């Protein structure tokens, strides 16, 4: 059995007057698309930011690829893991190709020369995310779905094997939601990457993800396959209201409030 992607034991995250994550014991598999789901305030984004070393944990242990999370040197960590926040920073005046090229920073540094390998990695990322025709467009002129693909391409150019995405489809229409999650799934299954994705839409999690982790009140409520999640009793446990599961003609389960 391969080394887990992340292992957490007794993980706690505190802010003044409040505990955001409370004693989470969790193992996330490598080489899969993992969904983090739960109601607002359940701890999804807090957990993702902890794994990305954006916020510090107050108790417990976290291991990434077999090493303590805090034991990784900053550059080695940036080469192994890429993080997309829920609200990506502005890229005013920057073309898509220039944005994607920022993903090469962990490999050559701020003053390093941009060499042949860097150019090749940028072009490969543009091709993989199907945005080469947009490469000379300004990022702030793109549609929401195009912009998310550009940021995903930057993560690909970073050559990180692990992608952490905080609500990458929250501001997109349904067509672009499917487009972005389909791309993330292909990026993992065809290129041997791993992804941990915060999602609000449970049906999208069940359709596009291999493994589902549900949080409730900062604690682990459920983890397992999409089939484990898409049961009325499991959904009620996670969301605290009656749910029913319907089947589409192709057998795909769809959860709706009862």
Closest among 173, 200, 199, 171 to 184, alpha carbons compared: 199
Supply the pLDDT for residue 110: 62
pLDDT, tens digit (0-9, with 9 covering 90-100), for 41-94? 999 999 999 999 999 999 999 999 999 999 999 999 999 999 999 988 888 899
pLDDT, tens digit (0-9, with 9 covering 90-100), for 124-143? 999 999 999 999 999 999 99
Q: Is the pLDDT of residue 1 over 60?
A: no
Helix (H, G, I), strand (E, B) or coil at 174: helix
CA distance 14 to 60: 12
Q: Where are the domains of the chain?
A: 6-257
Question: Phi then psi for 245, rounded to 5 degrees?
Answer: -115, 120
What band does 188 get if pLDDT is binned at 50, 70 and 90? Answer: very high
Helix (H, G, I), strand (E, B) or coil at 208: helix
Supply the pLDDT for residue 225: 95
Supply the pLDDT for residue 226: 94
pLDDT, tens digit (0-9, with 9 covering 90-100), for 199-246? 999 999 999 999 999 999 999 999 999 999 999 999 999 998 999 999
Q: Which of 22-36, 110-124, 188-202, 209-223 has the lowest mean pLDDT?
A: 110-124
Helix (H, G, I), strand (E, B) or coil at 69: helix
Supply the pLDDT for residue 3: 84
Residues 9-24, mean pLDDT to the nearest whole number: 96
What band does 248 get if pLDDT is binned at 50, 70 and 90? Answer: confident
On whether the 6-257 domain is CATH 1.10.287.90, my answer is no
pLDDT, tens digit (0-9, with 9 covering 90-100), for 106-116? 887 666 778 88
30, 211 in Cβ contact below 8 A? Answer: no
Q: Is the pLDDT of residue 257 over 60?
A: yes
Residues 17-27, mean pLDDT to the nearest whole number: 96
How far are the Cα atoms of 43, 81, 111, 122, 145 from residue 93, in angstroms, in the given order? Answer: 35, 27, 21, 19, 19
Supply the pLDDT for residue 111: 66
């Amino acid at each position: 059995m391969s080394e887990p992607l992340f292992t957490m034991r007794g993980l706690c995250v505190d802010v003044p007057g409040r505990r955001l994550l409370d004693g989470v014991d969790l193992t996330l598999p490598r080489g899969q698309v993992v969904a983090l789901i739960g109601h607002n305030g359940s701890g999804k984004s807090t957990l993702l930011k902890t794994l990305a070393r954006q916020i510090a944990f107050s108790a417990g242990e976290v291991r990434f690829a077999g090493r303590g999370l805090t034991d990784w040197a900053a550059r080695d960590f940036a080469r192994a893991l890429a993080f997309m926040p829920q609200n990506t920073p502005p890229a005013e005046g920057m073309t898509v190709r220039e944005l994607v090229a920022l993903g090469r920073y962990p490999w050559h540094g701020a003053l390093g020369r941009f060499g042949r390998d860097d150019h090749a990695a940028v072009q490969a990322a543009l091709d993989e995310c199907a945005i080469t025709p947009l490469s000379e467009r300004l990022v702030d002129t793109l549609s929401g779905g195009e912009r998310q693909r550009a940021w995903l391409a930057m993560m690909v150019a970073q050559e990180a094997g692990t992608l952490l995405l905080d609500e990458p489809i929250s501001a997109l229409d349904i067509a672009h939601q499917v487009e972005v999650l389909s791309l993330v799934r292909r990026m993992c299954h065809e290129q041997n990457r791993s992804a941990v994705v915060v999602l609000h839409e449970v049906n999208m999690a069940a359709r596009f993800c291999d493994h589902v982790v549900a949080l409730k009140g900062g604690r682990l409520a459920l983890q397992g396959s999409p089939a484990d999640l898409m049961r009325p009793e499991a959904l009620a446990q996670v969301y605290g209201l009656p749910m029913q599961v319907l089947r589409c003609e192709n057998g795909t389960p769809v959860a709706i409030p009862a």
